[in-house]
Chain A
Amino acid sequence: GAVVSQHPSRVICKSGTSVKIECRSLDFQATTMFWYRQFPKKSLMLMATSNEGSKATYEQGVEKDKFLINHASLTLSTLTVTSAHPEDSSFYICSAAGQTDQPQHFGDGTRLSIL
């Protein structure tokens, strides 16, 4: 149980492109989904927390107009990196949690490379 699917796993695109990443909880309803960014050999950096049907809460320093998050249903959240630039290249990971006393379960991550 507690499977989180993230798609795509790898994106390579030109600077200026917008990229959408999907995160789905396959066998449970995710009250809350999280988006993280991870730089090489560094730990997870929380970007934003999203609750179904409401606006995402962004961490300090994360541009909400740059990283658009939509949590349309209890099983799907999307992160759109708008007008991506090389400095946006990173490993993006989503996670989902069903209830507050349950651990987060992570998707497999998306490796984004902006040329």
Chain B
Amino acid sequence: EDKVVQSPLSLVVHEGDTVTLNCSYEVTNFRSLLWYKQEKKAPTFLFMLTSSGIEKKSGRLSSILDKKELFSILNITATQTGDSAVYLCAVDTGGFKTIFGAGTRLFVKA
């Protein structure tokens, strides 16, 4: 059975800290790995990763994929209170089938 596992499930940090969120997966067919940020409403798209070892960056956020180890990390540097959210990792297995992890709930204290 295809699965996506995220860790930790929750995390509390102070403003300015750097955090690393983990995502591992086991799927029959892999097309891409996606990261989303979910605040009070629906998820917003952050990154899509298809190739190993190529880091994607957007401001203080960055992500990288290791297809050999079936693993991805999402880094957030110099965290701010506005980064508090649930971060979802998902794997597109093709045919528009996307498997979501349970999410990591991040809380950044002022």
Contact = CB atoms under 8 A, between A and B. Distances in A.
Interface of A: 2, 6, 32, 34, 41-44, 46, 49, 93, 95, 97, 100-101, 103-109
Interface stretch (B40-48, B61-69, B73-81): B40-48
14 contacts: A6-B42, A32-B96, A43-B100, A43-B102, A95-B42, A100-B31, A100-B94, A101-B31, A103-B34, A103-B45, A104-B34, A108-B41, A108-B42, A109-B41
Contacts of A107: 42
B42 A43 contact: no
Interface in B66-109: 88, 92, 94-98, 100-103, 105
Nearest to B89: A43
Nearest to A42: B102
Interface of B: 31-32, 34, 36, 41-45, 48, 88, 92, 94-98, 100-103, 105
A49 B98 CA distance: 11
A52 B43 CA distance: 23
Contacts, number: 48
A100 B41 contact: no
Contact of A100 (B48, B96, B100): B96
Contacts of B34: 103-104
Which 3 A-B residue pairings sit nearest by Cβ, starting from the closest?
A106-B42, A109-B42, A108-B41
Nearest to B103: A43
A41 B42 CA distance: 13
A22 to B, nearest CB: 14
B22 to A, nearest CB: 15
A104 B44 CA distance: 9
A105 B45 contact: yes
Contacts of A41: 105
A106 B41 CA distance: 10
Contacts of A43: 88, 100-103
